[in-house]
Chains A and B, each alone.
Chain A
């Protein structure tokens, strides 16, 4: 398409963009309602743990956010490999969406953890294996997003951020190894362990509800962010900007 025809088409195509977007992101609304429902159940309809008291309820938020963060990070890793292989810009956009959503969930994990740690462990923070690993996942994800923001060229941005994923994935076992030399304070898995889950039934249901709601929110946010990316790139193409 020549630049002259782009200029002629501009008003109509802007219009198309505005109408192409659905007014109602139903998945996001459902996810928010699910999260609200899970909170209501966790706060009002789930028994209080005998030893830890109300603080134990942070568990539901903390663990489900961690699982969602891992889902989003898996999307980043998988889509980075797919991009380097197929050079499909949709893979890059998905990776970008996954990165931002992962940073949000990691932030929830890193803030809810200390809130629980202070009353239960007596300290906000300890340099324990899992805490350190999560902190560095946060740093790596933040670095990933800063790198994306610092490159103008779309193809170069996609390649560089996908390349960053390779050493980042290899770094995780090394950070784990570095902190493995210390003893861990962190509770061992309660639900995902070889033996039967040791959570009472009522708590287990609340936990599973929370995980389901958080995963739904994770997918809804990535979907919304992906759609935004599509529109943004389309707009840039119309404006004849960087693409």
Chain B
């Protein structure tokens, strides 16, 4: 029986998450990288001259971008071993469902990193989050969708090339600019205690980015898999 688009996507995502849950190596490594990055950034500025509160949004989003890249790298990297990708392609699942499943697994991975890093930044940079925390998590999830949509497509492409580790950041980072911009600007408005309504234009841009790139990358993905 051929599973539906979302059913197939769920199967792929469950497979990837099961692999991750049983090995746990990548998640812990990326998590340590993220917190380590947050700590190192603190020493890159003179905190007596620039308040930690002004630095935090930028630090948060630069760290998310780089730890996101690390997790995306694995997404299709794991399918290279024993040419596991051929098995995926032979299975009665739509190509679009493979993409959505991979993207969903990456999304859960990145959201997991965010769930630990946001409180870590709040703690280490003394951010008075409190009531803004739910909105901040909403921004983080919106940004994660955009990062993951573009990153999953490029991860599939980069995995097949000679420069996989270098190519993924080189292709993805220009695409992360609108995401990082929207997320960091709205985060700094919230952290500064401005009303949520002021962040709305940036959130609208994030939502538009998510919709456009999730659709475009899902449609473009099957072209990368032809044999």
- Label chain B's interface by main secondary structure: helix
Is there a chain A Cβ closer than 8 Å to B32's Cβ? no
Q: Is the CB of B177 within 8 A of A147?
A: no
Is there a chain A Cβ closer than 8 Å to B125's Cβ? no
Is there a chain B Cβ closer than 8 Å to A204's Cβ? no
Q: Is the CB of B223 within 8 A of A84?
A: yes
Q: Is the CB of A150 within 8 A of B162?
A: yes
- Give, as a whole number of angstroms, the nearest-CB distance from B226 to chain A: 7
Is there a chain A Cβ closer than 8 Å to B127's Cβ? no
Knowing A146-B167, A147-B161 are in contact, say whether A160-B174 is a contact too (CB < 8 A): no
- Give, as a whole number of angstroms, the nearest-CB distance from B61 to chain A: 13
Identify which of A38-46, A99-107, A161-169, A217-225 touches chain B: A161-169
Is there a chain B Cβ closer than 8 Å to A240's Cβ? no
Q: Is the CB of B205 within 8 A of A178?
A: yes
Q: Is the CB of A174 within 8 A of B205?
A: yes
Q: Is the CB of B157 within 8 A of A163?
A: yes
Q: How far is the CA of A156 from the CA of B159 in the complex (A)?
A: 12
- Give, as a whole number of angstroms, the nearest-CB distance from A177 to chain B: 6
Is there a chain B Cβ closer than 8 Å to A119's Cβ? no
Q: How far is the CA of A171 from the CA of B175 in the complex (A)?
A: 7
Contacts of B185 in A (CB 8 A): 181
Q: Is the CB of B223 within 8 A of A164?
A: no
Closest A-chain residue to B153, C-beta based?
A: A167
Q: Is the CB of B223 within 8 A of A162?
A: yes
Is there a chain A Cβ closer than 8 Å to B66's Cβ? no
Q: Is the CB of B162 within 8 A of A167?
A: no
One of A147, A177, A178 near B157 (C-beta < 8 A): A147
Q: Is the CB of B161 within 8 A of A136?
A: no
- Give, as a whole number of angstroms, the nearest-CB distance from B85 to chain A: 13
Contacts of B181 in A (CB 8 A): 178
Q: Which of B190-227 contact A (CB under 8 A)?
A: 201, 205, 208-209, 212-213, 216-217, 220, 223-224, 226
Q: Is the CB of B163 within 8 A of A164?
A: no
Knowing A136-B174, A151-B162, A178-B205 are in contact, say whether A167-B223 is a contact too (CB < 8 A): no
Is there a chain A Cβ closer than 8 Å to B182's Cβ? yes
Knowing A167-B175, A175-B177 are in contact, say whether A146-B163 is a contact too (CB < 8 A): yes
Contacts of B163 in A (CB 8 A): 146, 150
Q: Is the CB of B171 within 8 A of A147?
A: yes
Q: What is the interface size of chain B, counting residues whose CB is below 8 A from a CB of the partner?
A: 30
Q: Is the CB of B167 within 8 A of A175?
A: no
Closest B-chain residue to A155, C-beta based?
A: B226
Is there a chain B Cβ closer than 8 Å to A143's Cβ? yes
Is there a chain B Cβ closer than 8 Å to A235's Cβ? no
Contacts of A163 in B (CB 8 A): 153, 157, 220, 223-224
Q: How far is the CA of A156 from the CA of B224 in the complex (A)?
A: 8
One of B153, B162, B174, B178 near A139 (C-beta < 8 A): B174
Contacts of B224 in A (CB 8 A): 159-160, 163
Q: How far is the CA of A162 from the CA of B223 in the complex (A)?
A: 9
Is there a chain B Cβ closer than 8 Å to A152's Cβ? yes
Is there a chain B Cβ closer than 8 Å to A195's Cβ? no
Cβ-closest 6 pairs across A and B: A150-B161, A174-B178, A150-B163, A178-B181, A139-B174, A178-B178
Q: 22 pairs across A/B with beta carbons < 8 Å? A: A139-B173, A142-B170, A143-B171, A146-B163, A146-B170, A147-B171, A150-B162, A151-B160, A159-B226, A160-B160, A163-B224, A164-B157, A164-B171, A167-B150, A167-B153, A167-B213, A170-B213, A174-B205, A175-B174, A175-B178, A178-B181, A181-B201
Residues on A facing B (Cβ under 8 Å): 84, 136, 139-140, 142-143, 146-147, 150-152, 156, 159-160, 162-164, 166-167, 170-171, 174-175, 177-178, 181
Residues on B facing A (Cβ under 8 Å): 150, 153, 157, 160-163, 167, 170-171, 173-175, 177-178, 181-182, 185, 201, 205, 208-209, 212-213, 216-217, 220, 223-224, 226
